[in-house]
Amino acid sequence: MNDPKRILITGAAGGIGRMMRTRMRRDGRMLRLLDLASQTPSADDEPVELLTGSVTDPDAMLAACEGVDALIHLGGHSRETSWAEILDVNINGTQVVLDAARQAGVTRVILASSNHSVGFRDADEPGLPADSSPRPDTYYGVSKAAMEALGSLYHSRFGMDVIAIRIGSCFETPLPLGPRGLITWLSPDDCARLFEACLSAPSPGYRLIWGVSANTRSIFSLAEAEALGYRSQDDAEAYADQLAPTEPTPERYVGGGFCTAPLGAPNPL
């Protein structure tokens, strides 16, 4: 796929979706932005289509997928909550999204997985492969492992190109996460670079990759993302001097605080 003309983004009103809206703008490209929350147009000439709907609604998702070349699935719960919510929105919702894409003939899908699918892997060895088998730290992490498995299934059964990205932490700066952000940050510009690489890579099949910047303190392998053409240009270390001058406690596990927060309870991390 060279340059998809119409891209559907679910969860587009969320943090990553809003950061991508301007960064992924291109001449000749239309972004179709779907969210449960209503969205407002920003500029008169902004080439976007705004849809309100749920990723759990098969009819709404099929309609949203019509005429789409590629899909970026961000919608759902982005942190821990009850099992019932995770099951409905994150796991069932991902199946609904993938099946709508299949029915509509969308051949390229990017799934927003998370480091929390492998949150209980040790954090003390650099170069953690992107295809490390799941060791979720929460129900949320289980849903991301299920998302990866569903992506693999839809590739193997239907030949769709599906790339699941284990995102570290994508915010304007790494600072909200404290020292952990220096390890896990995916800068918004790098996130856009990564999405573009995933959209344009020829026939990737099913891939599981890390979504992080080239952080000095990173423990994650970038080889798998670089094989798709991703080249990070950012490093969270540039923000290190803005953190409190305390020696950061080394993280024991990849998932950090998610590993000790109460299971199934909404958390603010």
Ligand X SMILES: NC(=O)c1ccc[n+]([C@@H]2O[C@H](COP(=O)([O-])OP(=O)(O)OC[C@H]3O[C@@H](n4cnc5c(N)ncnc54)[C@H](O)[C@@H]3O)[C@@H](O)[C@H]2O)c1
**Residues catalogued as catalytic:** 140
Report residue 131 as tokens.
């295809």
Q: Do the Cβ atoms of 169 and 185 come closer than 8 Å?
A: yes
Least distance (Å) between residue 93 CB and ligand X: 6
Question: Partners of 163 in the beta sheet?
Answer: 110, 207
The minimum distance between CB 213 and ligand X, in angstroms, equals 12
Cα–Cα dist 94/228, whole Å = 23
Listed residue (96, 48, 104) closest to 73, CA to CA: 96
145 binds ligand X (CB under 6 A): no
**Of the candidates 35, 148, 224, 234, which one interacts with ligand X according to CB under 6 A?**
35
Count of residues of this chain found to bind ligand X when the rule CB under 6 A is applied: 24
Question: Which residue's Cβ lies closest to ligand X?
Answer: 14
Build a one-symbol-per-residue string for 226-255: x at contacts with ligand X by CB under 6 A, - elsewhere: ------------------------------
Cβ atoms 4, 28 nearer than 8 A = no
Q: Which residue's CB is nearer to ligand X, number 75 or number 203? A: 75
Please give the residues from 78 up to 97 whose contact with ligand X meets the rule CB under 6 A: 78, 89, 93
Identity of the residue, 159 or 176, whose beta carbon is nearer to ligand X in the bound complex? 176
Of the candidate residues 24, 33, 104, 170, the single one contacting ligand X (CB under 6 A): 170
Q: Does residue 15 interact with ligand X by CB under 6 A? A: yes
If DSSP codes are grouped into helix, strand and coil, which group holds residue 52? strand
Is residue 243 classed exposed, middle or buried when 0-12, 13-18 and 19+ CB atoms within 10 A define those classes?
A: middle
In the complex, the smallest distance separating the C-beta of residue 247 from ligand X, rounded to whole angstroms, is 24
Beta-strand ranges (E) seen in 108-178 are: 108-114, 161-167
Task: State how far the Cα of 74 lies from the Cα of 111, in Å rounded to an integer.
Answer: 7
Smallest separation (angstroms) from ligand X to the CB of 28: 26
**Residues numbered 59-78 forming contacts with ligand X, rule: CB under 6 A:** 74-76, 78
Considering the complex, what minimum distance in angstroms separates the CB of residue 76 from ligand X?
5
User: Which phi-psi region, left, alpha or beta, contains residue 123 (left: φ > 0; alpha: ψ -120 to 50)?
Assistant: alpha
Q: Which residue has the tokens 């679910």?
A: 10
Q: Which residues bind ligand X (CB under 6 A)?
A: 10-11, 13-17, 35-37, 54-56, 74-76, 78, 89, 93, 112, 114, 167, 169-170
